[in-house]
Amino acid sequence: MIIPISSVLSKDEVALFRRHLDNANWQDGCLTAGTQALSQKQNRQLDVDSKLAQQLSDKVLHALALHPMFISAALPLKILPPMFNRYDGGDHYGFHVDNAIRIVPGTSIRLRTDLSATLFLSEPEEYQGGELEIEDSYGTHKVKLAAGDLILYSSTSLHRVRAIEQGQRTCAFFWLQSMIRSHEQRQVLFDLDQSIQSLTQLHDHQHPDVVRLSSSYHRLIRQLADT
């Protein structure tokens, strides 16, 4: 499952994020890497305990909660507060798989990472290289989205960030536990919901077929969802 979600942040919001992030203190990304990731990782991250990181993280969570396509694709149960990273010339993050379990900082809440997400805060023309490469059963996918757009992908996928050749790449990233553990089931629910949304545009939400399909969607959610 690799799903692009457009316009999570508006261009104005991106500009506001960037004004703050371009003046922020960035730390060595290796401070938060696990032992396996350590040798692979060269980038910088914003201190998660800083006030700025917490404020921007809250803004991303707020934007996600208002985005119907994100909710439909992810069906999130728990979202780890978004963090921020920056890649300059030569920075990279070699092929790795994300940890299966994360603890929400400052709490004892555990989260199973079903989906990984990267929210782009730099425009593609601001840097060369630096593509996010995700492997799945169909091959390798190179991802470089417009600022404000997000990519959602299965946390079981092997992935890397290719070395930056020029410029600077700033992103937010996070993990989430979905109400639907199975990627296959979540994909079916997403397809069904997207079709219901387009049928609603064509007819209206009272149309008997729309009502029946919506009812089927919610019956499936009741059967499959963890809450």
Interacting residues with Ni ion (CB under 5 A): 98
To Ni ion, the closest distance from the beta carbon of 147 in angstroms equals 20
Q: How far is CA 88 from the centre of its chain?
A: 21
To Ni ion, the closest distance from the beta carbon of 9 in angstroms equals 21
Instruction: Select from 136, 112, 17, 7 the least CA-distant residue to 70.
Output: 7
To Ni ion, the closest distance from the beta carbon of 216 in angstroms equals 35
Q: Considering beta carbons, is residue 40 or 50 the nearer one to Ni ion?
A: 40
Q: Considering beta carbons, is residue 13 or 133 the nearer one to Ni ion?
A: 133
Q: Considering beta carbons, is residue 161 or 189 the nearer one to Ni ion?
A: 161
Q: Considering beta carbons, is residue 14 or 117 the nearer one to Ni ion?
A: 117
Q: Considering beta carbons, is residue 98 or 193 the nearer one to Ni ion?
A: 98
To Ni ion, the closest distance from the beta carbon of 131 in angstroms equals 14
To Ni ion, the closest distance from the beta carbon of 212 in angstroms equals 41
Q: Return the residue nearest Ni ion (CB atom).
A: 98
